[in-house]
Structure 1
Amino acid sequence: MAESDFTPYQQPSLPTISILAFPLPYLESRTSLSPLTLPFLSRIFLDFNHQWRHIFRWIYADSTFRKLSYAILQIALLDFRIVEDASRWNHKSLWGAYVNAHQLPPWQACEDSFFRVGNTFVVLDQGLQRAMAIVEQHAKDNITHPSDEQQPTKYFLLSVRHVMLCRAGKGGVLSYTQPTPFLNGVDAPSPEAIKITLEGLSPPYPHKITKLHQVPIEIQDRILEHASERSGISTARVSSRFGLAVFLVEGK
């Protein structure tokens, strides 16, 4: 076989988004986060984006998209499993810290593309314009068929590569944030995209104030360190879920 028998490989074009499809004005994210939550989740999403970059940079099937979406939701909700491994030679291929270039996500996928998380409707679609069409139709249906039960009016649109947050006001009028780049395997996820994700999935109630909140931060850190089996990542996850501003020490 000669060299002339080969043809250059052309990588398929990745999906693009037109900002013109989402005209101004845009909403501003207004999430109130603890001093730890945003830095902690930024590091988690940064690592997730890097570990699976061989998929994020490519065109992937809908089944893979639903698995990536499931992972994003679990990370944002701080509902994920932590397995720490200090050795690069002693890791498990399924849950280890390292991912092979040919590996596909082994975890479960989102079963539906439209569902509720708390008081938020989550819309999954690799095209934000299609997701917006679903939101518009749902908002119209709520106006056409009023109910005594209070309906959620917040929508979180996730295409993995971009995120948006929509709110349905009186008369079904929609307002939304600017489509924000999220996970593409090349660029680091922006703080604004993470804020939008957390605002879209934030619980409708504030963190419950406990006696643990009333002790000094240094003591909170020591208590959570022991409660989390001396794991720095576990400590940060637990403290974020309870709204505690504890220290996250590098390399801990």
Structure 2
Amino acid sequence: MTALGFLYPGHSAEDDYPRIEQLLGSDVRVDLVHTDLGEDAHRVDALLQMGAPERLAAGLQQLRLSGAEAVVWACTSGGFVHGWDGAQEQVRGLARAAGMPASSTSFAFVHAVREIGARRVAVGAAYPEDVSLLFAEFLRAGGVEVTGVRGFGAVTAAEVGAWGEEELFALARAADTPDADALLLPHTALHTIAHLPGLEKELGKPVLTANQVTAWECLRLADRRVNAPGLGALFTREPIVQV
């Protein structure tokens, strides 16, 4: 049994994680601990506070008791708003406090893009434009070429959590660009897990979503590889050998 640990702010799309556990199979357990969301606002100052060390540390004891082998801070914006260097320091501090390998959804996106061999990506973000552009800057710092960024201006995570299939597919269609090898949807408050096969069929390319790459990153840290077609191309492709 492999136990995966996640620190998830609030409750907007928490039901994606039991679905992930089901799709991964019976020998993987998903342990989700909710962190203090603070002010639910897609503003840089609020997002910086959401990922503060003391807020992340508060949930770690529960994950340690659960037997988690690795932990991922399951919040994209609460990582990339710190910039590349700041986000690295954030996960280093999380690993020290947790006593186990750690990462964040922001880095999960960069690692997942490399895994599928994509060179150019389009971004469909629910955030306001200024926050969406910070995510694009983060990706570029990680060596990912961004072909376009579409921000949809949602003010809160709760708003995004209420979106259904219609809004999700509209976001994906509007954000995709013909020259992108993959589409990225970077919000852990967005329900995407049930729709990954449909999204990839609709767009004809890999789609990487926040809760999907978060789970994949935690498996990577735990040195596990799981073939799970229901979780999209990221979970079915052979890894790309970097040269």
Normalising by structure 2, we get a TM-score of 0.28
User: Which of these two proteins has the greater Rg computed from alpha carbons?
Assistant: 1
| Structure with higher helix content | 2
| Structure with higher strand content | 2
Normalising by structure 1, we get a TM-score of 0.27
